[in-house]
Amino acid sequence: MFIEIPYQRRYEDFRKDGKMRLGAILKVFEAAGSKHSDTVGDNILSDTIEHKAWIMTDWFVEIDEFPKVNQTILARTWVEPIKQILFSNRDFEIEADGKVCLRCVGRYVMVDLETGRPLKIGPEFADQYKPEDRQSIAMDKPPRPIAVDPAAFTNEVAIKVRRSDIDYNDHVHNLTYLDYAFEALPHEVYKNYDFKGFRVTYKQAVKPHEELVCKYAFVEDKHVCCIFDKDGGLKTQVEFY
């Protein structure tokens, strides 16, 4: 089952040069995925009440061109057939004026919120979501995140978790980590970014009142931002390239 939603333009979603912000791109993907879940009767808030939730583990995004403020923008999403009983891949595309300019794979697990353990995805998933045997990005096995030598970090920024960062699962919403990563990017990288892609890997959820530090390194031709807790535990890694 393919789901398509038209994007309703909001000027705060675009930079001064008219290109869509990375955070806005993820919001468009999230809205399309939510529409799909609603269409098949998989109510996200009802799942939470039942102490289970779909948890994002990775975003993989490839950018041919950034959508622009004056274009007609359409988002498309679908899920792939289950190949591993603990993971689901959701694919996304964004069209600008009828041309696909962005591709994405989001990787999810269903988690028992009481135990924190992943749940097996049963055969009812296919009946509900009607997977499509198509990949937006060829990815049978996701690549490992870059291993960063601590000596490679050249910048770090303390991050204060705000109340508004916390979502209905009582942890920092997954899109907010991108904002944290931006704070650590060197200004000359952030001010005119024209990335061809980025990846977000979630290791551990951040809870309210946690103390964080985001560290930056340029490794293997990628701008890597790692978000750590006060004890040095890696929470999330973001790679821009």
d(CA 95, CA 93): 7
Model pLDDT, residue 206: 95
d(CA 69, CA 16): 10
Model pLDDT, residue 3: 96
Closest CA to 42 of 103, 130, 136, 101: 130
Please report, for residues 80, 193, 207, the alpha-carbon distance to residue 31 in angstroms, rounded to integers and kept in the order given: 18, 24, 23
**pTM flag (> 0.85):** yes
Tens-level pLDDT at each residue, the chain (241 residues): 999 999 999 999 999 999 999 999 999 999 999 999 989 888 766 666 567 888 899 999 999 999 999 999 999 999 999 988 888 999 999 999 999 999 999 999 988 888 888 889 888 888 899 999 999 999 878 889 999 999 999 999 999 999 999 998 889 999 999 999 999 999 999 988 899 999 999 999 999 999 999 999 999 999 999 999 999 999 999 999 9
Model pLDDT, residue 151: 97
